[in-house]
Structure 1
Amino acid sequence: MNRSLVIRLMRRREVCSRAELTQDSGLNQSTITNIINELISWGIVVETGVIEGKKGRRSIGIKLNCEPYKIIGIRLARKSITVALYDLGGSEYKRQQIPINMADGSTNAFNRMKELIRDMMQSNAVGNVIAIGVVTPGPLLRDEGRIGLMTYFPGWEKINIQEELMQEFELPVYMEHDAKAGALAHWWFGTPLQEQGVMIYVAAGQGVGAGIVIEGKVFRGSLGMAGEIGHMSIDYKGQQCECGNRGCLELYCSTSALLQTLKKEHASLKSIWQELKEVKSGETREAVRQAAWYLGFGLVNIINTFNPDRIILGDEMAEAGDLLLDTVKSVIKGHVLPDVYSQLTIELASDDMDTMLVGSAIVAIESILDNPSSYLKQS
């Protein structure tokens, strides 16, 4: 626990001193000295030379040496598989994405995922790959290592992704729902950095899910399926969903639903967002506004359940920009208590990184940091 605490504190700082770690951790000086000496012997910490401290005091700087410890992060979506190489600090080294198609089948897509992993491991030039993180759409049976249902792409529920990848690559494999991983990535790298409270990341893409982070911990539920808001019914007489329910939220506000509404199932989302930017199509704007309106009503229920400080709208629907954000805000403002709304921040996810892909690596990194001696000492 103490090793984990020290590494996590160092992750937040580029360079620090042993004295700063003593103050921040609440551990005594001799404990910090012993832990740092141990971490230096493992190669995960290096000394950087003399640094200036408070009141002009000089001390030896130390920092994490993340590069020798690599993680492969994988994002499985309904239309693509993305695999990337990260180090223990979450820095990305290489990325590759391939399209997949329901017509080709889940088994074929899974085999292609394995090929990408193999290629990524072979491309690693420094250090060793010590774990694999995988994020998928849900519902995800996290403890069983398999998808319960992937709407618009059946067959994945028959594959135990975690078990097969562990056997294939002889590495620990960690799985998470993509929205939960996105939430974790925002907690790690978000600006401003959030230390406390409740943050909800909403992945509104080909499906709809939510990642709920409470005081730095992802809320998963008993089977790991908490946050599966795409299968929350907003119309009990509505359309039939593949999950067996009626009126599921994702039938109204996912990009899959948006393309069906526009009767452009085979069009690219890029072309849809371009239409929005060029204000050429009133039909497109109205369809996006309607989808955002439904999403807002779904989030009203989530707000009343979890009372978050912050909601981040991400994934493909976030590319609609202010049209999505303003519509969602308007619905929420009109349907929650004023005191609740006044304390709530609602924003679009940053578009400079794939938070769910980054989150796939962080899921594995978090598990490593929980028990560092099991991974880092032996690597």
Structure 2
Amino acid sequence: MSVLGTPRPVSAGVGNSNDQTRRHNLSTILTTLHHGGAQTRADLTRRLGLNRSTIAALVGELVDLGLAHETASTEHGGVGRPSPTVTPSEQVAAIAVNPDTDAIIIGLVGLGGVVHKRIRYETAGVPTVRETVNIVKAVIDGMRSELDTSFRIAGVGIAVPGLVRADTGVVTLAPHLDWHDEPLAELVTEALGYPATVTNDAKAGIIAESVYGAGRGIDDLVYVNGSASGIGGGVLVGGVPLRGAQGYAAELGHISVAGSGIDCHCGRVGCLETEVHLAGLLAAMGRDHLDADEFDQLLLTSSDPAVEAEITRQLDVLTLALADFVSVFNPSRILLGGFLGSLFAAHPERIVDGVRAASFAQLADELTIERAQLRSRLLVVGAAEIAFEQLLADPAGMWA
């Protein structure tokens, strides 16, 4: 396997039946198209190292399965007829769900990471699991006619701000949502009739950024996201997501930064997310809620001493925490998402200089820090990526 589970093509031989080889190579081609976009057959031949007739047969099967389209290429640079262009079908889609403390985001994402719909359903309070399932069902039922006539649904991906057992789809603990041992995947599968998969929201974020955003091509990556529900993280080491024994690794919002600080929802004291949080910035601005663009603008333009003091306080804590991540993971890039990305966009030099000053020098020599690129699309794309896993692993087996 290569980065993020993308399979490499294989040839039939000892230990490989023709059917196994064919199915594996179908997976390789579909994953390549899904992550890399439209490519000519000639490009696929060069990139995957398979011969032209094999590529033609495999692409033809993906077309027959409704997973790809072939069109005449406009390129005329070579000898003979131009190679047809192969495009993943955007009508093959996944439903994405991201519950948070103040809203539930529901998306429809096609192959290639194309976001067809993104709906933000504001909630009156922190939604329970049952409320979340009912809201998602109501929204999807309202789209059912369109889904049935225009799309093929591969599954549902759910990105939750909490601890998730990926093997069972159980949310073990989502402290900000007050969810405990909730069989979320099972409940959503029963409600919608599509297979559901659950993951941690920050892990969904790092997968999305690694495939389509500012982490593309980066094998050693730390992603830290800040939202209304706290701070989450994801880590790639050698191109492989860090998961841990139970799938709980990289709870970066819960490193201790203030030994005599504030009690955290997780039961500890002085966690990073108790010191660096959106609520404190909004309170200093005198606002209960701001959309992302308004928040960015106020961070850049505010001259209020109270706002500047809170920004400075949070930046001081954040830079020290990021320096600790450099020491532990030795990443080549750190990505900051959510309100942490907004802080970075407003004060990039302070964060970069602060992290370098606080880091073990040699570990930060080649480090870059950037804002996550996908912004509002991040978690719907990341959740959908989880939902597509079964289809990408065995296209012929899922929809033969």
Answer yes or no: same fold by TM over 0.5.
yes
In the alignment, is the contact (CA less than 8 A) between 2:102 and 2:126 conserved in 1? no
Q: Provide the residue aligned with 2:221 in structure 1.
A: 199
State whether structure 2 residue 72 is matched by structure 1 residue 64: no
CA shift in 2, pair 1:306/1:13, >3 Å: closer
Offset of residue 303 of structure 1: 1.4
Match of 2:153 in 1: 129
**Which is worse superposed, 49-58 or 86-95?**
49-58
Partner of 1:139: 163
Give the Cα separation in 2 of the matches to 1:273 and 1:12: 30
Unpaired segments ≥5 residues, structure 2: 1-23
Q: Which residue of 2 aligns with 1:247?
A: 270
Could you report, residue by residue, the CA deviation over 1:182-203 in whole angstroms, capped at 9, with x for unpaired residues?
1111112125x73242122211
- 1:289 paired with 2:305, answer no
Q: Do the aligned partners of residues 352 and 135 (structure 1) sit closer, same or farther apart at CA in structure 2, a change above 3 Å counting? A: closer
Query: Equivalent of 1:354, from 352, 357, 377?
Result: 377
**Aligned equivalents of 1:7, 1:142: Cα separation in 2:** 24
1:184 equivalent to 2:207? Answer yes
| Structure 2 residue identity aligned to 1:300 | A
Q: Conserved in 2, the CA contact under 8 Å of 1:52 and 1:58?
A: no
- Deviation, 1:43, is 2.1
Give the whole-Å Cα distance in 2 for the aligned partners of 1:357 and 1:203: 14
Q: CA deviation at 1:346?
A: 0.2
Residue 177 of structure 2: aligned partner: 153
Quote the Cα distance in structure 2 between the aligned partners of 1:201 and 1:231.
14
Q: Deviations over 1:200-227 (max 9, x none)?
A: 2211122111122344432222222111
Match of 1:340 in 2: 363
Name the amino acid aligned to 2:143: M
- How is 1:313-324 mapped onto 2 (pairs within 5 angstroms)? 313-324=336-347
1:273-299 CA-partner distances (Å, limit 9, x unpaired): 554343231111221221122122222
Q: Does 1:307 align with 2:330?
A: yes
The secondary structure found in structure 2 opposite 1:149 is: strand
Structure 1 residues 50 and 319: CA distance shift in structure 2, 3 A: closer
Structure 1 residues 215 and 118, CA, compared in 2 at 3 Å: closer, same or farther? farther
Report the counterpart of residue 247 of structure 2 in structure 1.
224
The answer on whether the counterparts of 2:172 and 2:182 sit within 8 Å (CA) in structure 1 is no
Query: Per the alignment, in what secondary structure is the counterpart of residue 30 of structure 2?
Result: helix
User: Displacement, 1:310?
Assistant: 1.0
Structure 1 residue 7 displacement after superposition: 1.6
CA contact 1:84–1:96 (8 Å) conserved in 2: yes
Verify the 8 A CA contact 1:138 1:150 in the aligned structure 2.
yes
User: Which deviates the most, 162-171 or 58-67?
Assistant: 58-67
CA distance in 2, matches of 1:55, 1:372: 32
Mapped partners of 1:342, 1:201: distance in 2: 19
**Rounded Cα–Cα distance in structure 2 between residues aligned with 1:50 and 1:274:** 44
| Paired AA for residue 219 in structure 2 | G
Q: What secondary structure is seen at the aligned counterpart in 2 of 1:143?
A: coil
| Alignment pair present for 1:268 and 2:268 | no
Contact residue 173 and residue 180 of structure 2 kept, 8 A: yes
Q: What is the deviation of 1:316? A: 2.4
- Decide whether aligned partners of structure 1 residues 216 and 282 sit closer, same or farther in structure 2, where only a CA change above 3 A counts: same
What is the rounded CA distance, in whole Å, between the counterparts of 2:295 and 2:97 in structure 1?
27
Residues 133 and 187 in structure 2, CA contact (< 8 A), matched pair in contact too: no
More deviation in 199-208 or 48-57? 48-57
Distance apart, 1:12 and its partner CA = 5.0
Q: What is the CA deviation profile of residues 117-138 of structure 1, one whole-angstrom value per residue up to 9, with x for unaligned ones?
A: 3323443341322211110102
1:84 to 84, 103, 107: 107
Unaligned runs of 5+ in 1: none
Give, in angstroms, the shift of residue 235 of structure 1: 2.7
Once superposed, what is the RMSD of the aligned Cα atoms?
2.6
Cα distance in 1 for residues equivalent to 2:153 and 2:133 = 20
The amino acid of 1:127's aligned partner reads F
Quote the offset at 1:38 in angstroms.
1.6
Contact 1:85 1:94 in 2 (8 A): yes
Q: 2:34, 2:111 within 8 Å by CA — same for their partners in 1? A: no
Distance (whole Å) between structure 2 residues aligned to residue 117 and residue 213 of structure 1: 33
Deviations 1:300-331 (CA, angstroms, capped at 9, x unpaired): 22211211111111112322344453333232
Distance of 1:10 and 1:105 partners within structure 2: 38
Amino-acid identity (%): 26
Give the CA deviation at 1:249.
0.9
CA distance in 2, matches of 1:346, 1:80: 29
Does structure 2 retain, via aligned residues, the 8 Å contact 1:289–1:324?
no
Give the secondary structure class of the aligned counterpart of 1:93.
strand
The residue matched to 2:84 in structure 1 has which SS? strand
Instruction: Calculate the TM-score normalised by the size of structure 2.
Output: 0.84
Partner of 1:17: 40
Query: In structure 1, what residue type is equivalent to 2:299?
Result: L
Give the number of equivalent residue pairs: 373
Q: 1:219-242, CA deviations, whole angstroms, 9 ceiling, x for partnerless residues?
A: 222222111111111233332212
What's the counterpart of residue 171 of structure 1? 194
